[in-house]
Every structure is written in C-alpha cells, then in structure tokens.
C-alpha cells in the first residue's frame, strides 16, 4: 500500500518534471526564429566586422584585397585621420537631439496632455507627426535642399531682415545638415515623449499647485522628473541614428561638413577599404555605447537598460 | 505649530459648467479650528466647492475669503490652503519624506527635515521616510497625503473624500485618527464626504448639500434631531415621513395638531419647519415603539394602528420592522434586541407609538425626495 503510494507520488513528480521540460522546450521553439535572426543578422555580421577591422590591405593588390592579420594600427590610424569627422558627428547629433527635444517636448505635451479629452484633435495631431514617414526619407531630405537653396524664399526673407548677411548661404553649411537631422528625427523624439506624457496624471500637477509650486516650479519638480523616461528614450532614438547618419550630410552638406557615416560609406563602397571602414564602424559603435551608458546612468533611468 | 487664526468665508459662490450649475449661490463662514463637513450625494457640487476653495477651479460668481482677505483670483499655489486629494496624488518619483517636504521646499522654509519628521511622527509613519509611495498600503498612502498637507500649517486643510478608497475597518480607524490629528494641530478642516456616518462622527459642523445648494447646516446632533428638509431627513440617517395637513396651528399652547390619514398627531410647534397647509410628519425609526397586544403607550404619545407587520430583518443589535398602517402607509421601526422582547413575526397586528417631542414636521413639497418606502405615484398608468 505504502509502496504503491510512494510509487504513484514518484510518478507524479516525474510527470511534473516532464511537463516542465516540455514547457521549456516549447519556449525554446518559440524563441528560435528570433534567436536565429539575431545570430544571423547581428552577431555574425558584428563578428565579421570585428574580424575585418584587424585585416591588412595588400599593398599593390587588387581593389579591396585584404589578408588576415591582427593589425591594431587600423584603429589608431582611423582615429588619428578621422577624429574631426567623429567630433562633428557627435556634435551635430547632440545639437539635433537638443533641438528635437526643444521642439518635440511642447508638441508632445500639447498632444498628450492638452488635447487629452479631445480624441479627434489628438488623433489629427498624431497623424501629422507620423505622416512624413509615408514619403521617402531621401525625398524629404532633398526637399530641404530646395527650402534652404540660395534662391529660396527662406533665404530671401532671412536676408531681407538682415539675419543672414549678403552673400551668405544656408545650403552646404553645418546649419543645413543639423536642420535636416532635426527635421528627420523629430518624430523619433515626439512619439516616445507622447507615450510617456500620455500617462502623466494631471492630479499630480494639481497637487504641485496646491503645495505652493508655481507652474514653472511644478514643471521642474513634478512633470519633468516623471517624463524623464520619455526624454531618455526619445533622445536615444534620435541621437544614436543621427550620430551614424550620412544622408543629411551627403545631400545638404559639403565635404567640410561630412560626418563619420559619410567616411564609412566612402571607405566601404568607393575606396573599398574594408579594414578601415570596419574599424571606424566598431569605434562608432563602442563610442555610442559608452555615451549612452553614461547618459542613462546620469538621467537616473537605469531600469530602461 | 500654532495654527493661524483665520476663518474661511464663502460669499454667494457659484460655479457653472456650461448649462450645468454645480454650485449655486452658496454662502457660509467656517470659524478657525473647526472641523467642517460638506456632506452630499455624488454630483451635489461638494468637490467643486472644495476645488474653488483650493483655487483649482475659478468660481463663475461670488468670492472666497480667507482671514478676511479676498483670494478669489489668487492662484492655487499662492493660497494658504492644502488639500488631501481623494486619489492622494502622491508624487511617485519622490520618497515619503520628500513628498511631505514638497510644500516646505517650494516656500523655502527652514527646519524642513525636523518638520517633516514631526509630521510623519504625527501620522505614525516615522519609519517610512525613505520608502517610495508605491510601496505603501492604501492606509499608509493616505497618512502620507495627510502629513504632506498638515506640515505646511495651512489656514484651511481640505479633505476630498480622503477615506473613500479604504476598507470599512481602516476607514473607522482613520476617522478616529483624523479627529485626533485635527485636535492636535488645531487647523480648520473642511471634509468632503458622501458618507453620513463619517460626517457625523468627525465634524463639529455639517453642511448637507444637494443639487449645488446647502440644504441645512449645523452640528450633527441638531441636524439629525431636527432636519429641516425631507432631503436632510433621509440623507442623514433614515426617517418615516407621513403626509398630513395642519388642522391646529398651535398658536395657543405651542402644540401643532396634524391630521394624517385620519390619525391625529401632535408635535411642538418649535419642531415644525412648516406650520400650515400640507406637511410631512417625520419620525426616526428608532424613536418608534412597537406595541403588541394590550401594551399601554406612554401617556401623551402619538399612537398609530393597528397595522400589519410586513417584514422583519434581524440586524444584530437591533431588528428592523416594516409595518403597514392603513391610511398612513408603511413605516420603518428599529427596535433594540432586548431579551424581554416578545417576538413579532410578519403578519402580526401591532400598534406604533412615539413621543411627540421626537417628531418633526417638514413642508410638503412635491419635489421632496422619496421617503424610506417610496409611495407609488398614482399616475403611472399609461
């Protein structure tokens, strides 16, 4: 009797363990496509990139010919030669991020908080933020070329009110590149901010007012800290692609405004210098990782990582 | 902490939202240090009134004065008023101590740490200073919200249904706590609630609100003993309201004679809000005695019946009877469950009696809300 009971219990336990094993196997099956995708399109390319970044070009060899090597000088040479482009990339991306935040925060606030009880208006404004995505990124950037062209109305007006001196131009300047970046990445700032502000509890703002905080002070001590996660994710979504962007500089700038993306593009596809291009890519990746890590720590939103 | 001796005065205050009038021409004075309850059903305008005092809502007409100073156009953050919100509205990104310190820091006051510690001690949350509000229970959050308001030593402390989210046991406990804290700090508390028991146990003055107006204002005992409108009679506890007609104005002896469905009832003229024409005679269910068989009524008592017992509900300390008296209608009786009582069962014939000094008379308005048992209007047939 007792033995039979024990046997049954053991069997039941085994059954449970079996079930758990089956469940965990099923979880792996569900995960497989995603894992395969990651390995195939992220881990493998990064490994190849890392490998190529140490290769050596064959002097006098065919175009793009390399031999396997462990040449750390690829990195030091790349940094020495392209430091200005790296600096410019991070500076432009930083300015564009600050500008998108300055433009995007009030916009997101109006859509998410002020228009909260007017779904039609709210929907309309959201569509207006997203609508540009329906046209090609390249086309929209080329349009900016027209807007900032020497004979454009914008330039004429700026010259008429003497903001822009005679003979100065907007196109092919750092201004044009930053303007293009700001315009193109604005929705990436607005949408995360909107998602965050949408959950902002108005009663907390009332509580701030009730506790002697002026509207400005309430914003600083209540609204801003509560929307920090939105600010962090918005600025990451803006800064990271902007730092690696090459379209805006290529279409709206000159060689004098080229960013690291333009250099990588040229090294890969025109010079066919895979080791340098790879080393530059790795440096960009690591630099962004370090900057982002520092930023997220600073903002006190570690739980985002 | 000495409380600022400033009273709160509302003068003809009105708030309209489009066509809807939420608060309709209310005037009242709350003396410093009082515990004032605004009692009414949801939608009666009591929260809107509180928000106008706090400065979160601008009155359409009328004035708000604090200590004689007109603050009607003063912004919320410049008023010496703090609110305990119904949702508590604690700042989730700040810990308990910083939540409590918020108002002091904004006004750049001194001794912030000591005052915060004292406020937390007052609400018995001394050990919770470093916790985030989301990690506290509902009752603890409520205490933090209270400490956050009290610490600023405001002229008026507003409480917007602060106990609404708590369970019954905790609510009882917090009622006692709130009253203790009010006694201790001596601030003027304005407490908005729809819970009549809460208003009666805590407040020294209760204003019963209905449809944007104050129906009656006074100490809870007075309001309960002598309601002046049918709304108050039924919102504050329950009442039997019997329609009748005044047949003796009581000019000679001060005793009003009323004919209700053929029964002659009497009550002191001082207890009548109307002394002529159609009136409602009111009597609280616990003031009515059930008389079985030949039991003699007290001398001078009003006696009704015999009527038929329709329903008996046992409620522990008391039993609730519904007795239908021919010509008068159903009446509710609460009887204490004393051991000596003869059991009364549905279908039994009983008489009802009460002392005239417990009865009251109200003007019979057709708009008066339904009494305990709603009499069916005659004109419902299509």
Query: What percent of chain A shows pLDDT beyond 90?
Result: 61
Higher pLDDT among residues A220 and A162, named by residue? A220
Of A201, A204, A212, the CB nearest to B77: A212
CA closest to A209 among chain B residues:
B77
Cα atoms found within 13 Å of the Cα of residue B260, Cβ hemisphere only: 25
Q: B64 vs chain A: nearest CA distance in angstroms?
A: 16
Residues of B in contact with A212 (CB under 8 A): 77-78, 103, 106-107, 152
* CATH for B46: 3.40.50.300
Mean pLDDT for back-to-back runs of 10 residues, chain B (382 residues):
70 92 92 91 91 94 92 92 93 94 94 94 89 91 93 92 83 86 88 90 92 92 91 89 83 79 83 82 90 78 85 87 87 82 80 89 62 38 34
> Would the CB atoms of B106 and A212 count as touching at under 8 Å?
yes
Q: Long-range contact list for B340-346, CB < 8 A, 24+ apart? A: B342/B292, B344/B290, B344/B292, B344/B309, B344/B312, B345/B309, B345/B312, B346/B309, B346/B310, B346/B311, B346/B312
What residues of chain A have any CB closer than 8 angstroms to a CB in chain B? 201, 203-204, 206-215, 217-218, 221-222, 225-226
In a domain, A17, yes or no: yes
Of B54, B90, B92, the CB nearest to A210: B54
| Mean pLDDT of all residues in A26-34 | 92
* CATH for A280: 1.10.3720.10
Asked whether residue B324 falls in the same domain as residue B346, the answer is yes
What residues of chain B have any CB closer than 8 angstroms to a CB in chain A? 54-56, 75-78, 81-83, 85, 87, 89-93, 102-103, 106-107, 148, 152
Q: Please, is A186 exposed, middle or buried when counting C-beta atoms within 10 Å of its C-beta (0-12, 13-18, 19+)?
A: buried
In a domain, B268, yes or no: yes
Question: What confidence score (pLDDT) does residue B263 get?
Answer: 81
Asked whether residue A13 falls in the same domain as residue A110, the answer is no
Which among B91, B108, B116 is the top mutation candidate for probing chain A, defined by the most A β-carbons within 10 Å of its own β-carbon?
A: B91
Residues of A in contact with B91 (CB under 8 A): 204, 207, 222, 226
Question: What confidence score (pLDDT) does residue B79 get?
Answer: 93
> Would the CB atoms of B106 and A225 count as touching at under 8 Å?
no
In a domain, B232, yes or no: no
Q: What is the pTM of this model?
A: 0.79
Asked whether residue B335 falls in the same domain as residue B211, the answer is no
Asked whether residue B181 falls in the same domain as residue B257, the answer is no
Asked whether residue A15 falls in the same domain as residue A138, the answer is no
Which residues on neighbouring strands pair with residue B308, listed in sequence order?
B324, B349
Asked whether residue B293 falls in the same domain as residue B351, the answer is yes
CA closest to B152 among chain A residues:
A211
In a domain, A164, yes or no: yes
In a domain, B367, yes or no: no
Asked whether residue A168 falls in the same domain as residue A220, the answer is yes
In a domain, B188, yes or no: yes
Asked whether residue B221 falls in the same domain as residue B248, the answer is no
Asked whether residue B147 falls in the same domain as residue B282, the answer is no
> Would the CB atoms of A207 and B85 count as touching at under 8 Å?
yes
Asked whether residue B220 falls in the same domain as residue B169, the answer is yes
pLDDT tens, residue by residue, A252-273: 988 888 999 999 999 988 888 8
Asked whether residue A209 falls in the same domain as residue A282, the answer is yes
Which among B77, B82, B83 is the top mutation candidate for probing chain A, defined by the most A β-carbons within 10 Å of its own β-carbon?
A: B77
In a domain, B373, yes or no: no
Which of B198, B225, B252 terminates a domain? The answer is B225
Distance CA B321, CA B337 (A): 12
In a domain, A63, yes or no: no
Q: How many CB contacts within 8 angstroms connect chain A with chain B?
A: 62
Asked whether residue B208 falls in the same domain as residue B304, the answer is no
Q: H or E element: which one contains B171?
A: helix B168-185
Asked whether residue A81 falls in the same domain as residue A47, the answer is no
Asked whether residue A40 falls in the same domain as residue A169, the answer is no
Decide if pLDDT at A82 tops 70.
Answer: yes
Distance CA B215, CA B204 (A): 17
Question: What confidence score (pLDDT) does residue A9 get?
Answer: 55
Q: Which domain holds residue B174?
A: 8-225
Asked whether residue A78 falls in the same domain as residue A10, the answer is no
In a domain, A58, yes or no: no
> Would the CB atoms of B106 and A213 count as touching at under 8 Å?
yes
Question: What confidence score (pLDDT) does residue A296 get?
Answer: 86
Asked whether residue A91 falls in the same domain as residue A37, the answer is no
Of A206, A212, A215, the CB nearest to B103: A212
In a domain, B230, yes or no: no
Rounded to 5°, the CA angle B264-B270-B276 comes to 55
Residues of B in contact with A218 (CB under 8 A): 77
Higher pLDDT among residues A166 and B66, named by residue? B66
B345, B215, B329, B338: which is closest to B283 by C-alpha? B329
Asked whether residue B85 falls in the same domain as residue B182, the answer is yes
Whether the CB-CB separation of B33 and B40 falls below 8 Å is answered with no
Asked whether residue A134 falls in the same domain as residue A278, the answer is yes
Asked whether residue B65 falls in the same domain as residue B158, the answer is yes
Cα atoms found within 13 Å of the Cα of residue B280, Cβ hemisphere only: 25
CA dihedral A232, A233, A235, A237 (to 10 degrees): 160
Q: Which domain holds residue A204?
A: 72-304
Distance CA B93, CA B354 (A): 60
Q: B183 vs chain A: nearest CA distance in angstroms?
A: 23
Question: What confidence score (pLDDT) does residue B380 get?
Answer: 33
Which among A211, A302, A303 is the top mutation candidate for probing chain B, defined by the most B β-carbons within 10 Å of its own β-carbon?
A: A211
* CATH for B250: 2.40.50.140
Residues of A in contact with B107 (CB under 8 A): 212
Number of domains chain B is built from: 2
Secondary structure of chain A in HEC code, one letter for each residue: CHHHHHHHHHHHHHHHHHHHHHHHHHHHHHHHHHHHHHHHHHHHHHHHHHHHCCCEECCCCCCCCEECCCCCHHHHHHHHHHHHHHHHHHHHHHHHHHHHHHHHHHHHHHHHHHCCCCHHHHHHHHHHHHHHHHCCHHHHHHHHHHHCCCCCHHHHHHHHCCCCCCCCCCCCCHHHHHHHHHHHHHHHHHHHHHHHHCCCCHHHHHHHHHCCCCHHHHHHHHHHHHCHHHHHHHHHHHHHHHHHCCHHHHHHCCHHHCCHHHHHHHHHHCCCCHHHHHHHHHHHHHHHHHHHHHHHHHHCCHHHC
Q: A297 vs chain B: nearest CA distance in angstroms?
A: 16
Number of domains chain A is built from: 2
Q: A236 vs chain B: nearest CA distance in angstroms?
A: 22
Residues of B in contact with A222 (CB under 8 A): 91
Asked whether residue B179 falls in the same domain as residue B297, the answer is no
Asked whether residue A145 falls in the same domain as residue A286, the answer is yes
Distance CA A88, CA A259 (A): 6
> Would the CB atoms of B91 and A222 count as touching at under 8 Å?
yes
Give whichever of A58-67, A124-133, B284-293, B304-313 has the largest mean pLDDT.
A124-133
Asked whether residue A192 falls in the same domain as residue A292, the answer is yes
Asked whether residue A43 falls in the same domain as residue A126, the answer is no
Which of B225, B246, B280 terminates a domain? The answer is B225
Whether the CB-CB separation of B374 and B332 falls below 8 Å is answered with no
Residues of A in contact with B102 (CB under 8 A): 208, 211, 213, 221
Task: Report phi then psi at B190, rounded to 5.
Answer: -115, 115
**ipTM for the predicted complex:** 0.80
pLDDT level of residue A284 (50, 70, 90 thresholds): very high
- Answer whether the bond into residue B306 is a cis peptide, omega within 30°: yes
Which of B225, B257, B286 terminates a domain? The answer is B225
Asked whether residue B208 falls in the same domain as residue B245, the answer is no
pLDDT level of residue A14 (50, 70, 90 thresholds): low
Non-local (6+) Cβ contacts of A96 within 8 A are A178, A181, A182, A185, A238, A239, A242
Q: A220 vs chain B: nearest CA distance in angstroms?
A: 11
pLDDT tens, residue by residue, A227-246: 999 999 999 999 999 999 99
Of A211, A213, A225, the CB nearest to B93: A225
């Amino acid at each position: 009797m007792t033995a039979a009971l024990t046997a049954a219990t053991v069997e039941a336990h085994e059954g449970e363990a079996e079930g758990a094993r089956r469940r965990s196997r099923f979880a792996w099956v569900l995960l497989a496509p995603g894992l395969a995708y990651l390995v195939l399109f992220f881990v493998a390319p990064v490994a190849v990139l890392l490998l190529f970044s140490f290769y050596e070009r064959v002097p006098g060899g065919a175009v793009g010919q390399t031999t396997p090597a462990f040449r750390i000088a690829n990195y030091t040479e790349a940094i020495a030669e392209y430091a200005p482009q790296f600096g410019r990339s991070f500076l432009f991306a930083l300015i564009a991020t600050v500008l998108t935040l300055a433009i995007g925060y009030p916009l997101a606030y109006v859509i998410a908080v002020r228009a909260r009880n007017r779904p039609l208006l709210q929907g309309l404004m959201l569509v207006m933020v997203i609508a540009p995505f329906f046209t090609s990124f390249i086309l929209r950037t080329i349009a900016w070329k027209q807007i900032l062209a020497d004979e454009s109305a914008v330039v004429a007006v700026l010259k008429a009110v003497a903001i822009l001196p005679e003979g100065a131009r907007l196109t092919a300047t750092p201004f044009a590149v930053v303007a293009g970046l700001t315009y193109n990445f604005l929705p990436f700032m607005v949408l995360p901010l909107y998602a965050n502000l949408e959950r902002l509890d108005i009663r907390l703002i009332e509580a701030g007012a009730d506790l002697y905080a002026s509207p400005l002070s309430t914003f600083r001590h209540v609204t801003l800290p509560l929307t920090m996660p939105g600010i962090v994710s918005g600025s990451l979504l803006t800064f990271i692609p902007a730092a690696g962007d090459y379209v805006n500089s290529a279409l709206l700038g000159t060689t004098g405004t080229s960013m690291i993306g333009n250099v990588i593009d040229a090294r890969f596809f025109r010079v066919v210098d895979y080791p340098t291009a790879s080393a530059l890519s790795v440096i960009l990746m690591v630099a962004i990782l370090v900057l982002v890590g520092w930023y997220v720590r600073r903002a006190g939103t570690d739980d985002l990582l | 902490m000495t409380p600022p001796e400033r009273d709160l005065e509302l003068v003809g205050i009105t708030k309209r939202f489009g066509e809807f009038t939420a608060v309709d021409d209310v005037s009242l004075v709350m003396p410093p240090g009082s515990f004032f309850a605004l009692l009414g059903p949801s939608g009666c305008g009591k929260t809107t009134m509180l928000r106008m005092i706090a400065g979160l809502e601008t009155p359409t007409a009328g004035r708000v004065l604090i200590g004689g100073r007109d603050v009607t156009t003063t912004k919320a953050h410049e008023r010496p008023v703090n609110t305990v919100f119904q949702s508590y509205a604690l700042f989730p990104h700040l810990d308990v101590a910083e939540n409590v310190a918020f108002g002091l820091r904004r006004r750049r006051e001194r001794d912030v740490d000591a005052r915060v510690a004292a406020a937390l001690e007052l609400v018995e949350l001394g050990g919770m200073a470093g916790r985030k509000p989301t990690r506290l229970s509902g009752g603890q959050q409520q205490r933090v919200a209270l400490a956050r308001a009290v610490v600023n030593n405001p002229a008026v402390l507003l409480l917007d249904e602060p106990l609404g989210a708590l369970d019954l046991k905790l609510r009882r406990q917090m009622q006692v706590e709130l009253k203790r804290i009010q006694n201790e700090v001596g601030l003027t508390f304005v407490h908005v609630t729809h819970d009549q028991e809460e208003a009666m146990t805590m407040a020294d003055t209760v204003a019963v609100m209905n449809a944007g107006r104050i129906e009656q204002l006074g100490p809870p005992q007075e309001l309960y003993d002598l309601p002046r409108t049918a709304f108050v009679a039924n919102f504050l506890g329950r009442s039997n309201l019997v329609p009748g007609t005044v047949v003796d104005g009581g000019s000679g002896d001060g005793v009003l004679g009323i004919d209700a469905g053929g029964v002659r009832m009497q009550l002191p003229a001082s207890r009548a809000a109307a002394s002529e024409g159609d009136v409602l005679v009111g009597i609280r269910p616990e003031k009515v005695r059930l008389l079985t068989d030949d039991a003699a009524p007290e001398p001078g008592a009003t006696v009704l019946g015999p009527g038929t017992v329709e329903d008996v509900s046992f409620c522990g300390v008391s039993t609730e009877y519904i007795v239908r008296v021919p010509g008068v209608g159903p009446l509710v009786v609460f009887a204490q469950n004393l051991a000596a009582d003869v059991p009364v069962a549905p279908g039994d014939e009983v008489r009802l009696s009460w002392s005239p000094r417990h009865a009251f008379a109200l003007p019979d308005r057709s708009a008066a809300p339904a009494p305990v048992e709603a009499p069916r209007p005659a004109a419902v047939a299509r």
